[in-house]
Amino acid sequence: MRVLTTLTALVGVLENAFAANSTFYNPILPGWHSDPSCAQVNGTFYCVTSTFIAFPGLPVYASKDLINWKLASHAWSRESQLPGLSWGTVEQQQGMYAATLRYHEGTFYVICEYLGVPGGIRGVLFKTTDPFTDSWSDPVLFKPTKIDPDLFFDDDGTVYSATQTILLQTLNINTGELGEATNPWNGTGGVWPEGPHIYKKDGYYYLLIAEGGTAEDHAVTMARAKVSDGIEGPYTPYEKNPVLTARGTDAYFQTVGHADLFQDTKGNWWGVALATRTGPEHEIYPMGRETVLFPVTWEEGEYPIASTVRGKMSGWELPPPKRDLPGDGPFVSDPDEYDFPTLSALPRNLMYWRVPASKAFAISRQGLEVVPSRNNLTGVMGDVELNGQSGLSFIGRRQEHTEFNYSVDVTAPKSEGTEAGVTVFLTQFNHLDLGVMRTKSGLSLRFRAEAQSVSVPVPATKSIPLPKPWVNGTIRLEIQAGNRTHYSFSASRVGDNGKVIKGSRQDVAVASAALVSGGTGTFVGTLVGVYATCEGAGKGASCPAGTGQAYFNRWRYQGEAQAISATETVPSK
Ligand SMILES: *[C@@H]1O[C@H](CO)[C@@H](O)[C@H](O)[C@H]1NC(C)=O
Ligand SMILES: *[C@@H]1O[C@H](CO)[C@@H](O)[C@H](O)[C@H]1NC(C)=O
Ligand SMILES: *[C@@H]1O[C@H](CO)[C@@H](O)[C@H](O)[C@H]1NC(C)=O
Ligand SMILES: *[C@@H]1O[C@H](CO)[C@@H](O)[C@H](O)[C@H]1NC(C)=O
Ligand SMILES: *[C@@H]1O[C@H](CO)[C@@H](O)[C@H](O)[C@H]1NC(C)=O
Ligand SMILES: *[C@@H]1O[C@H](CO)[C@@H](O)[C@H](O)[C@H]1NC(C)=O
Ligand SMILES: *[C@@H]1O[C@H](CO)[C@@H](O)[C@H](O)[C@H]1NC(C)=O
């Protein structure tokens, strides 16, 4: 076995000497995909990313070629895995923080921490032997004091979890019992030493961390300890830190940090990290922190050398393109073409803001059926019944392209005071909505921007009464990003044949993407989706009896272009 491994490695080295390097584009997981952690098992790569209060949470993506990523499952997909936690979460950016994904002796593990509920941080360790289904276990719970748990299986069977600041503890993966914490390293002086991962290689424990905060000063730094001295150290910092950063540069890919390293089947090293496509201006970045890939050279006994993160990368030969992976999740970046009456289940890439109210979403003969929530997308803070905590009637998918078209057909709401529409949603306090509203006098379109903590003027609400023929019909609502700075919102009337009636298109509004960049959602990224509300009428979390459902059909999302630098897009224009 040992001889075989050595031979395979040797062949790998020889192959590499002659292999052509590959070119690829970042980000590899575009759209809101922060804090990636990945592992390679039997030639398939698996990555998990953060989701905060979105549900289902902790998506696990799989790929055989590092480029085509399929949504395999969500580690957190059932309310019963963490009863009551979601509805107990008030803030917009609490919930599931940065996770680590590891594989050990036949089992996949996703370790994470849930923040923002009374009683402190909940450590959660999900397990499965089949990451292509939502078969992840109820979590083993543990009680960490700091965020960003790592999971490291040492050769002697001891399991360690390092966390922010940096603390190191043993973790019993069956009971959740944590050992005494030690503090192996504090980083090089940047704020928030966090996101630790430990690797054992060539007689050293390598400790990789993120520091400097997750924005402009973000960086990846490393230290190592001799295995003979033990995992607790002492650790010596790398003299050439940081290993990777975009700090102080005018790169288009900023905030590079929070990395994880892994090998392909040839033994070549790769890294993933989060990055934000903003350029040094930090003004327009609706998709937030995305996952980038970079080749790593890691010679024996040395520290790893990471390639600078850019839009166009060159490095180790990639495995040949391959899409044969099990499961029924879509590939990231593929278009959505969802016709609800023909679908039996909700598409796997759609997500909610917290666990939805029971029976709020269904697929019916009339399409995607949504029970309007009493609270609108913003809700009323301080009012548990109206703040959206117990169910916001919103469902969306990530914006995964700089330029895209998204359109949905909505059936005109039947009851007065009801609104059904489409939105670019960052948080409950930063969203851009185009709704169809039933009022006393008929039907109208309403564009509304909610945008807190932004530096651009918030556009005024705009209402457009719709002419008689629209009143009982189907209306196509469309959001288009035709460039990297603006969204445009429009509506058209759809005829009985399902086609837009010529000349019916109404261009309703154009809004800056700065309204949904940062603001109250510096950790998250935009979703595009649909919502339904009765705007505060009713009692508790429910709309008045007889409000009726909202129906959506013909859900289409199509990516048009990705920005890869300040001036270039793919495809190029
Ligand atoms: C990986 O391959 C080994 C050997 O064929 C097999 O026993 C194991 O189940 C595989 N694991 C996964 C996750 O595919
Ligand atoms: C980290 O910082 C704390 C507080 O300043 C200090 O007590 C501790 O010794 C430091 N740890 C290391 C490993 O340097
Ligand atoms: C191929 O990529 C690796 C990893 O980035 C790099 O070390 C090597 O120099 C590249 N080889 C060539 C011929 O460019
Ligand atoms: C998206 O919009 C562009 C520009 O208006 C248009 O050329 C393209 O056909 C649209 N695609 C879809 C799928 O609607
Ligand atoms: C709309 O439908 C209602 C009943 O569903 C009907 O009373 C009304 O006349 C219709 N209006 C138009 C303009 O077709
Ligand atoms: C971007 O698109 C919007 C909406 O179509 C338009 O108003 C704006 O002028 C465009 N900006 C640039 C720089 O092309
Ligand atoms: C949401 O509803 C509240 C009252 O329930 C209202 O004050 C607020 O203006 C609404 N905001 C939006 C964006 O609809």
Tell me which of 113, 194, 211, 433 is the catalytic residue: 194
Which residue's entry shows tokens 């040395």? 302
Q: What does the pLDDT look like over 212-264, one tens digit per residue?
A: 999 999 999 999 999 999 999 999 999 999 999 999 999 999 999 999 999 99
| Atom 3 of ligand 6, nearest CA residue | 486
Residue 468 Cα to ligand 5 middle (Å): 10
**Burial grade of 188 (CB within 10 A; 0-12, 13-18, 19 or more):** middle
Q: What does the pLDDT look like over 132-171, one tens digit per residue?
A: 999 999 999 999 999 999 999 999 999 999 999 999 999 9
**Contacts of residue 352, Cβ cutoff 8 Å, sequence gap at least 6:** 54, 55, 361, 392, 394, 395
42 within ligand 1 shell (Cβ under 6 A): yes
- Tell whether the model's pLDDT for residue 8 goes beyond 60: no
Residue 99 Cα to ligand 2 middle (Å): 25
Q: Which pLDDT belongs to residue 161?
A: 98
- Tell whether the model's pLDDT for residue 2 goes beyond 70: no
Neighbouring CB atoms inside 10 A of 18's CB total 7
Do 2-315 and 336-571 have matching folds?
Answer: no
Least confident of 2-16, 86-100, 123-137, 508-522: 2-16
Over residues 340-369, mean pLDDT: 96
502 within ligand 5 shell (Cβ under 6 A): no
177 is catalytic: no
- Starting from the CA of residue 559, give the closest ligand: 4
pLDDT confidence tier of residue 18, bands split at 50, 70 and 90: low
**Contacts of residue 367, Cβ cutoff 8 Å, sequence gap at least 6:** 340, 341, 409, 411, 551, 552, 553
Alpha carbon of 235 to those of 163, 206, 221, 399, 525: distances in Å?
Answer: 16, 9, 12, 41, 36
Q: Which pLDDT belongs to residue 422?
A: 98
What is the domain partition of the chain in residue ranges?
Answer: 2-315, 336-571
Q: Which pLDDT belongs to residue 382?
A: 87
- Tell whether the model's pLDDT for residue 443 goes beyond 50: yes
21 within ligand 3 shell (Cβ under 6 A): yes
CB 212 within 8 A of CB 195: no
Q: Which pLDDT belongs to residue 16?
A: 53
The third-level CATH classification (topology) of the domain covering 336-571 is: Jelly Rolls (2.60.120)
Which residue's entry shows tokens 């809700």? 379
41 within ligand 1 shell (Cβ under 6 A): yes
Alpha carbon of 535 to those of 289, 418, 521: distances in Å?
Answer: 32, 7, 23
- Tell whether the model's pLDDT for residue 10 goes beyond 90: no
Question: What percentage of the chain has pLDDT greater than the value 90?
Answer: 94
Q: Which pLDDT belongs to residue 419?
A: 97
Q: Which pLDDT belongs to residue 143?
A: 98
Q: What does the pLDDT look like over 179-222, one tens digit per residue?
A: 999 999 999 999 999 999 999 999 999 999 999 999 999 999 99
Q: What does the pLDDT look like over 383-433, one tens digit per residue?
A: 989 999 999 999 999 999 999 999 999 999 999 999 999 999 999 999 999
- Tell whether the model's pLDDT for residue 177 goes beyond 60: yes
Phi-psi region of 469 (alpha: psi -120 to 50; beta: other; left: phi over 0): alpha
Residue 316 Cα to ligand 3 middle (Å): 6
| Atom 5 of ligand 1, nearest CA residue | 42
130 is catalytic: no
pLDDT confidence tier of residue 106, bands split at 50, 70 and 90: very high
- Tell whether the model's pLDDT for residue 7 goes beyond 50: no
**Three state DSSP letters for 392-430:** CCEEEEECCCCEEEEEEEEECCCCCCCEEEEEEEEECCE
Mutate to test the pocket of ligand 2, among 166, 183, 229 (most ligand atoms within 8 A of CB): 183
- Starting from the CA of residue 403, give the closest ligand: 4
What class has domain 2-315? mainly beta
| Atom 9 of ligand 1, nearest CA residue | 106
Q: Which stretch of DSSP H or E encloses residue 560?
A: strand 550-563
- Tell whether the model's pLDDT for residue 324 goes beyond 60: yes
| Atom 5 of ligand 7, nearest CA residue | 536
Over residues 36-46, mean pLDDT: 98
Whether this prediction's pTM lies above 0.85 is answered by: yes
Would you say how long the chain is, in residues?
A: 573
405 within ligand 4 shell (Cβ under 6 A): yes
Q: Which stretch of DSSP H or E encloses residue 180?
A: none
Give the residue among 534, 87, 83, 549 at the shortest CA–CA distance from 362: 549
Q: Which pLDDT belongs to residue 573?
A: 80
| Atom 4 of ligand 7, nearest CA residue | 536
